[in-house]
Amino acid sequence: MSPLKKIDWSLYLVADTEFAAGRDLVRLVREAVLGGVTTVQLRAKDLGTRDFLELASRISEQLGKLGVPFLINDRVDISLACGTAGVHLGQDDMPLADARRLLGPDKTIGISVNTLEEAVEAQTLGADYVGLGPIYATTTKDTDLPIVGAEGIRRMHKLIDIPIIAIGGINAGNAADVLRAGAAGVAVVSAILGARDARQAAAELLKRGEKRGQVSTLDKKVKC
């Protein structure tokens, strides 16, 4: 991995516009980062291109000031327009090879996976990390994919060398278990965006992870 792509994956916020339900997502992201979020992904499946770009630009400006890596879900064009750290792609999105050709070698590309086979293929094709899930049952994303569980993380950790970011039903009560299983970080939506206080929720998640001895503190974040 290029030095430009060294990212602290410990606490990964998926800033989902649909889940935000009209609230000021820029403010929520900022509060979450001040609480300890180390990486942010913007997911905006309900927005048209212009609105997506405008929101991404505003969040990119905030995160640039805070020194936090910013990834875009699905949309390589939005990432290019905003100059973000990279993209996160699903199994049905643009093929990784095409995204890499457009973004270049120093940008970060992550792939959503549910099986060992998908994870191995993602690594072989040059993904920088995989987003594995759902780990537990979740209501923030419609999916009929099977639950992976902590044991699925353990099995995958033995097969691939790139970071595994666990997502799906993760909260302060189970984050440490997920990290102990071998995940490089936890990705959350509702655990932060659904909380009354995004900053406090992020801090609590980070605290639980720190007890496991892997989650780094805010001042250890690496700029992408």
Q: What is the pLDDT of residues 125-159, one digit of tens each?
A: 999 999 999 999 987 666 789 999 999 999 999 99
Say if residues 195 and 23 touch (Cβ distance below 8 Å).
Answer: no
Gap between the Cα atoms of 79 and 185, Å rounded: 22
Q: Is 112 a catalytic residue?
A: yes
> What tokens does 47 get?
């927005």
Domain boundaries, the chain: 9-220
d(CA 138, CA 63): 27
Q: What is the pLDDT of residue 134?
A: 97
pTM: 0.91
- Based on its alpha-carbon atoms, the radius of gyration of the chain, rounded to whole angstroms, reads 16
Average pLDDT taken over every residue of the chain? 91
Q: Which helix (H) or strand (E) holds 186?
A: strand 185-188
Choice among 5, 10, 30, 43 that is catalytic: 43
Pick the CATH number of 9-220 from 3.30.565.10, 3.40.50.300, 3.30.70.270, 3.20.20.70: 3.20.20.70
* Catalytic pick among 5, 75, 107, 141: 141
What 3-state DSSP class applies to 190?
A: helix
How far apart are the C-alpha atoms of 94 and 138, rounded to whole Å? 25
pLDDT at 95: 97
Low-confidence ranges of the chain (pLDDT < 70): 1-5, 140-142, 210-224
